[in-house]
């Protein structure tokens, strides 16, 4: 259809394909710009830094990602992890309440919205105090390493392929953690393990 229109207008016969990904969502980037992107999530063990959960979504924030990730990790590990340390994008009230009976969630306390009294004076608020309507339920090393290792722009299109890239990254990351934590499982002596750790840093 597009090629036919171009022929009628005297333009070249071949239509140029779009370079954007129809499955991606335009999101705000750290540099303030807006570009098509995916939201990749990694869950890791705090001490070993082994990745135990991976997901890719087209949501512009992390707010709805906690409960599905808790369920994914529980299914993969065969047990429920007792505590979760999450970044400031995760603690949506309904998500915390959804997992509250199964695990403890540690998250930064968001800054309260500025309020003023009837005279227009700022109201001093304690951000740690429960708010009206709050229920009783109410740090990212692996992510930083992913960015340092180049997991920023992806050469693939479509959510399925992007998730495959995220899973391959998690596999490579976990192999490097195996070198650091248990090199004997890979048949390495201390010198070989040190060389591989240095190469992967």
State the CB neighbour count (10 A cutoff) for residue 99: 19
Round to whole Å and give the CA distance between 127 and 103: 23
Q: Is the Cβ–Cβ distance between 165 and 159 less than 8 Å? A: no
| Domain locations in the chain as residue ranges | 22-110+136-200
Distance, C-alpha 172 to centroid of its chain:
17
| Residue 5 banded pLDDT, cuts 50, 70, 90 | very low
CA angle 36-39-44, nearest 5°? Answer: 155
For residue 101, what pLDDT is reported?
A: 77
Mean pLDDT of 35-44: 87
pLDDT of 53-74, one tens digit each?
A: 999 988 887 778 888 888 998 9
pLDDT of 122-167, one tens digit each?
A: 777 665 555 666 555 545 567 777 877 888 888 888 889 999 999 9
Angle between helices 159-181 and 141-148 (to 10 degrees): 110
Distance, C-alpha 47 to centroid of its chain:
19
For residue 16, what pLDDT is reported?
A: 36
For residue 191, what pLDDT is reported?
A: 64
Q: Rounded mean pLDDT of the chain?
A: 75
| Residue 29 banded pLDDT, cuts 50, 70, 90 | confident
For residue 161, what pLDDT is reported?
A: 92
For residue 1, what pLDDT is reported?
A: 44
Counting residues of the chain whose pLDDT is more than 70, the rounded percentage is 70
């Amino acid at each position: 259809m597009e090629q036919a229109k171009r022929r009628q207008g005297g333009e070249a016969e071949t239509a140029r394909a779009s370079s954007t990904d129809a499955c991606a969502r335009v999101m705000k980037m750290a540099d303030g710009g807006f570009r098509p992107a995916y939201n990749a999530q990694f869950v890791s063990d705090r001490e070993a830094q082994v990745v135990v959960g991976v997901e890719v979504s087209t949501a512009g924030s992390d707010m709805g990602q906690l409960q599905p990730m808790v369920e994914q990790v529980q299914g993969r590990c065969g047990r429920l992890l007792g505590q979760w340390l999450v970044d400031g994008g995760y603690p949506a009230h309904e998500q915390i309440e959804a997992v509250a009976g199964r695990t403890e969630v540690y998250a930064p306390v968001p800054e309260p919205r500025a309020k003023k009294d009837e005279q227009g004076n700022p109201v001093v608020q304690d951000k740690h105090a429960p708010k009206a309507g709050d229920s009783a339920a109410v740090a990212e090393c692996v992510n930083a390493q992913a960015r340092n290792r180049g997991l920023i722009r992806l050469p693939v299109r479509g959510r399925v392929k992007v998730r495959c890239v995220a899973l391959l990254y998690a596999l490579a990351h976990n192999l490097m953690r195996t070198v650091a934590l248990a090199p004997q499982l890979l048949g390495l002596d201390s010198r070989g393990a040190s060389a591989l750790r240095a190469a992967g840093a």
